[in-house]
């Protein structure tokens, strides 16, 4: 009994800070959305549209770092410090290169990308004013995530949480000053929200550099880290399938948003309101998955497979219990959305319906997020993840919503319902994979 209590205590000492950190990170999106909402519905729509492109960038970097987290956690479990340092160095190089590629893609194809957001010229122009600044956070994010990953995966989860809290408050303060124009500074509107994000991320980089230098590896020695082709090959074998899955998911989201953008300004505004809430929830439960990489990855690195499976089941049940509570709250408070947002009656109707659907689907989404962001990744089962993404998103969801929109003229709640059915399909596949235990692999040979 004492051993079981000790295991639960150890699990929650990682699970709670990592999950809270993801919640804090996603609160940045909701703060931006709430503050920008007072500028008008077209600004909400533009912000939601712009963030769909940035989601592709960020999900790609997160996917690479998730693979890195799996390796670092297993190296930590097998007490291989050099493996931790090498993986961190390789991860940093690849994520920064990825950010550079996305920036080149954006600036060479900006007209096509912006026109895919909406038929409204006003929304496209507002999106450009925001994206032309926020795109540069690709570089800051590509530096933050490898450092955040190595800090978190080596057990320094509270330090990672504190960095995110400081970043949140910095973003809020500068949003207030720059969006509305305070203390003699001119009001910059949606551009102010973008600049605030840049400032908060630069501050995060400075703090994380200090933590990495003090707790993990001296920054001055990073240039001396020697890694071979074998190390790079190991990293790419784990990360490329996960990156492919992340790209496929984010591209499917962008194509889905393209459909929403053709439904009308009210429906696009409704999705612009729902989208940050979805981001908060996906980030929150991705936190459960990321925590499981730290916990389960370390067990797999020690070849303690039964212990890893036991921890995995405990984490899944904890996530499902939390999702039932949060989902119920969403359903109960869905009709109270007018307390916080100044939007018209038609948009309110769409938002209420979609919030209710979001609440109902919460347990399924939570399970999928935990599996894709943590359980399967912790053992490097990333080719299977890519297969699931292709099946659920590209074979089922996208064709269905395109047919629904262009043949049957579905409204946004019906299209949103199809996306939820896609989540149910994904969950069914994940259940069989989890029970098979084929995802449990020692990646580092410890």
Domain range summary for the chain, segments of one domain joined by +: 14-436
Of residues 198 and 114, more confidently modeled: 198
pLDDT in tens, 285-303: 777 777 777 788 888 888 8
Cα 207 to Cα 226: distance, rounded to the nearest angstrom: 25
Q: Cβ–Cβ contacts within 10 Å for residue 295, how many?
A: 27
Does residue 139 register a pLDDT over 80?
yes
- Return the pLDDT at 76: 76
- Return the pLDDT at 219: 56
Token pair belonging to 112: 């096509």
Cα 212 to Cα 218: distance, rounded to the nearest angstrom: 7
- Return the pLDDT at 428: 94
- Return the pLDDT at 36: 79
Of residues 288 and 321, more confidently modeled: 321
- Return the pLDDT at 46: 78
Does residue 174 register a pLDDT over 80?
yes
pLDDT in tens, 270-289: 877 787 677 677 777 777 77
Does residue 223 register a pLDDT over 60?
no
- Return the pLDDT at 109: 84
| Average confidence (pLDDT) over 388-408 | 89
- Return the pLDDT at 364: 92
pLDDT bin (cut points 50, 70, 90) of residue 241 is: confident
| Average confidence (pLDDT) over 217-221 | 57
- Return the pLDDT at 100: 92
pLDDT bin (cut points 50, 70, 90) of residue 188 is: confident
| Average confidence (pLDDT) over 345-353 | 84
Does residue 218 register a pLDDT over 70?
no
Does residue 2 register a pLDDT over 60?
no
- Return the pLDDT at 238: 78
Does residue 446 register a pLDDT over 60?
no
pLDDT bin (cut points 50, 70, 90) of residue 228 is: low
- Return the pLDDT at 230: 74
pLDDT bin (cut points 50, 70, 90) of residue 339 is: low
Does residue 1 register a pLDDT over 70?
no
pLDDT in tens, 415-439: 889 989 999 999 999 999 999 989 8
């Amino acid at each position: 009994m004492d051993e079981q209590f000790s295991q639960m205590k150890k699990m929650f000492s990682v699970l709670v800070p990592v999950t809270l950190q993801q919640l804090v990170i996603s609160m940045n999106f909701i703060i931006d959305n709430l503050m920008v909402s007072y500028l008008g519905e077209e600004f909400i729509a533009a912000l939601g549209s712009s963030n769909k492109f940035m989601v592709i960038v960020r999900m790609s970097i997160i996917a690479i770092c998730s693979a890195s987290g799996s390796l670092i956690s297993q190296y930590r479990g097998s007490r291989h410090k050099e493996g931790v340092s090498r993986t961190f160095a390789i991860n940093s190089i690849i994520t920064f290169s990825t950010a550079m590629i996305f920036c080149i893609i954006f600036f060479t194809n900006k007209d096509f990308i912006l026109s895919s957001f909406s038929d409204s010229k006003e929304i496209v122009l507002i999106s450009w004013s925001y994206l032309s600044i926020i795109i540069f956070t690709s570089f800051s994010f590509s530096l933050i995530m490898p450092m955040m990953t190595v800090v978190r995966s080596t057990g320094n989860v509270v330090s990672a949480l504190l960095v995110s809290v400081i970043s949140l408050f910095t973003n809020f303060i500068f949003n207030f000053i720059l969006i509305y124009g305070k203390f003699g500074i001119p009001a910059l509107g949606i551009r102010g929200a973008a600049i605030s994000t840049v400032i908060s991320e630069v501050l995060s980089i400075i703090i994380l550099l200090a933590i990495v230098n003090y707790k993990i590896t001296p920054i001055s020695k990073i240039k001396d880290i020697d890694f071979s082709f074998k190390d790079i090959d190991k990293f790419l074998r784990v990360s490329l399938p996960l990156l492919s899955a992340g790209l496929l998911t984010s591209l499917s989201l962008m194509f889905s948003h393209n459909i929403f953008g053709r439904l009308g300004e009210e429906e696009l505004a409704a999705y612009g309101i729902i989208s940050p809430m979805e981001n908060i929830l996906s980030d929150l439960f991705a936190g459960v998955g990321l925590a499981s990489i730290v916990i389960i990855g370390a067990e797999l690195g020690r070849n303690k497979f039964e212990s890893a499976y036991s921890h995995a089941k405990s984490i899944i049940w904890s996530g499902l219990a939390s999702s039932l509570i949060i989902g119920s709250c969403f359903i109960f408070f869905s009709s109270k959305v007018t307390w916080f947002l100044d939007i018209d009656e038609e948009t309110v109707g769409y938002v209420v319906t979609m919030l209710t659907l979001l609440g109902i689907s919460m347990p399924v989404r939570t399970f999928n997020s935990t599996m894709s962001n943590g359980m399967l990744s912790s053992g490097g089962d990333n080719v299977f993840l890519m297969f699931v993404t292709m099946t659920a998103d590209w074979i089922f969801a996208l064709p269905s919503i395109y047919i629904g929109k262009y043949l049957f003229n579905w409204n946004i709640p019906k299209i949103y319902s199809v996306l939820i059915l896609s989540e149910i399909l994904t969950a069914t596949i994940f259940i069989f994979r989890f029970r098979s235990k084929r995802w449990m692999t020692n990646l580092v040979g410890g």
